[in-house]
């Protein structure tokens, strides 16, 4: 409230980095992120031992790895959030370049781990999913292009960003990974809308996406099988969706009790894509609503802070990062309750996965860097800079 009335806190040049960072960071959002990570560890204790026993590993093998990757993610989040927007942009452009090359080489060197989609590089001791690291870099890079296009005499940044988006969506569809492709397209669409795109053009793009979906349904057996399973009025109780739906129903309002859930013994992805089903069964609707509330606080607070931002690059990049973060969580939970077709997408900071955790830490670190309180110049000065005067 103080910031809303009196403006951003005064930042004195030469202030020590840590005090300045702590004074300007969105502490509520950061606490919510830490809360999600803590819930993820708690749910990992419940969901991963059956898989560890099946693979002949220590009961807490996956939880230990999740904690290790989670700590790395938190360090990355704090480190990135201390950067200036210019430094974030430079890091994002370089990281995006490496991730894009890795994505392009997946058909040659990647593996599918028997899941029918080539999305990972396997190094024996660990695996890496390039698309997870591609998303934050893509958002910041396209925001930079769009912001440059808003300047008088600037390049056609929105057109360049659109072409780049089509290239990335095409490579993701080849894996196939239609969930990440939709997420990338959604993030670009939100930023394009904020940058001032006409509504008619956005509706036309939505129609093109629908037509592309129809083509994918006819051309991809993997895609068609998931759509058919989603549209079928009869749900096979022996499928992942069947197990997840039954677990959510059994959990009720307060859950069946800690450690008493059964879905983790049946779902092969109980610790990743369907972690919300474990939460609903053992801890009930109360836990699920708490998780939704944490995601909501992060997204809403970020967008509210960005409303006061006058720099178009920061506003576009922050909006894209916040909306991509929120929509990924919505997709994961929507799949579990059968509101959306199966996508194979993790729940940020809650699901198990090294690539997801570390890339998520980098992404929210960028978001926290963009939403830090900073003095806003006079609107006349901003316009004069954009006009090159």
Residue where the block lists tokens 């890079």: 141
pLDDT, tens digit (0-9, with 9 covering 90-100), for 92-123? 999 999 999 999 998 888 887 767 778 888 88
List, in sequence order, every beta strand (DSSP E) within 129-214: none
Burial of 286 by CB count in 10 Å (0-12 exposed, 13-18 middle, 19+ buried)?
middle
Query: Whole-angstrom Cα distance, residue 331 to residue 162?
Result: 23
pLDDT digits over 234-276, tens only? 666 667 777 788 888 888 888 888 877 888 887 777 788 889 9
Q: What is the pLDDT of residue 127?
A: 83
Report the alpha-carbon distance of residue 218 to residue 339 in Å, rounded: 22
Percentage of residues of the chain with pLDDT beyond 90? 44
Q: Which of 136, 163, 151 is nearest to 363 (CA)?
A: 136
pLDDT score of 360: 95
Alpha carbon 287 to chain centroid, angstroms: 21
pLDDT at residue 4 is higher than 50: no
Q: Which of 154-158, 215-219, 269-273, 362-366 has the highest mean pLDDT?
A: 362-366
Distance CA 196, CA 8 (A): 26
Q: In the structure, what pLDDT confidence band is assigned to residue 3 with cuts at 50, 70 and 90?
A: very low
pLDDT in tens, 327-385: 999 999 988 888 888 777 889 999 998 889 999 999 999 999 999 987 765 444 554 55
| Best mean pLDDT range from 140-144, 198-202, 274-278, 331-335 | 140-144
Return the sign of the alpha-carbon dihedral for residues 379, 321, 367, 336. positive
| pLDDT tens-place string over residues 305-327 | 999 888 999 999 999 999 999 99
């Amino acid at each position: 409230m103080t910031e809303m009335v009196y403006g951003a806190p005064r930042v004195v040049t030469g202030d020590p980095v840590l005090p300045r960072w702590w004074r300007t960071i969105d502490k509520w959002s950061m606490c919510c992120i830490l809360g999600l990570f803590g819930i993820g560890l708690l749910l990992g204790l419940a969901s991963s031992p059956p898989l560890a026993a099946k693979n002949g590993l220590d009961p807490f093998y996956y939880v230990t790895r999740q904690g290790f990757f989670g700590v790395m993610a938190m360090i990355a989040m704090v480190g990135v959030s201390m950067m200036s927007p210019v430094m974030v942009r430079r890091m994002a452009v370089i990281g995006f370049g490496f991730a894009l090359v890795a994505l392009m080489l997946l058909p040659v060197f990647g593996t599918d781990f028997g899941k029918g989609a080539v999305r990972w590089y396997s190094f024996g001791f660990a695996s890496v999913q390039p698309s997870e690291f591609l998303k934050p870099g893509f958002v910041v890079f396209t925001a930079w292009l769009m912001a440059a296009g808003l300047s008088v005499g600037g390049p056609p940044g929105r057109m360049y960003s659109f072409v780049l988006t089509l290239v990335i969506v095409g490579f993701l569809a080849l894996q196939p990974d239609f969930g990440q492709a939709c997420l990338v397209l959604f993030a670009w669409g939100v930023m394009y809308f904020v940058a001032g795109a006409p509504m008619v053009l956005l509706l036309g793009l939505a129609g093109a996406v629908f037509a592309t979906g129809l083509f994918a349904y006819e051309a991809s057996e993997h895609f068609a099988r998931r759509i058919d399973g989603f549209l079928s009025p009869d749900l096979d109780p022996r499928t992942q969706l069947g197990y997840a739906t039954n677990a959510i129903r059994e959990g009720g309002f307060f859950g069946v009790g800690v450690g008493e859930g059964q879905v983790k013994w049946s779902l092969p992805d109980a610790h990743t894509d369907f972690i919300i089903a474990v939460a609903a069964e053992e801890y009930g609707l109360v836990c699920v609503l708490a998780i939704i509330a944490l995601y909501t606080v992060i997204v809403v607070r970020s967008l509210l802070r960005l409303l006061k931002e006058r720099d178009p690059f920061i506003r576009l990049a922050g909006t894209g990062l916040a909306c991509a973060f929120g929509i990924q969580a919505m997709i994961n939970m929507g799949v579990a309750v059968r509101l959306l077709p199966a996508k194979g997408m993790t729940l940020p900071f809650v699901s198990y996965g090294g690539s997801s955790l570390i890339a998520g830490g980098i992404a929210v670190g960028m978001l926290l860097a963009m939403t830090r309180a900073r003095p806003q110049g006079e609107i006349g000065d901003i316009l004069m800079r954009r006009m090159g005067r």
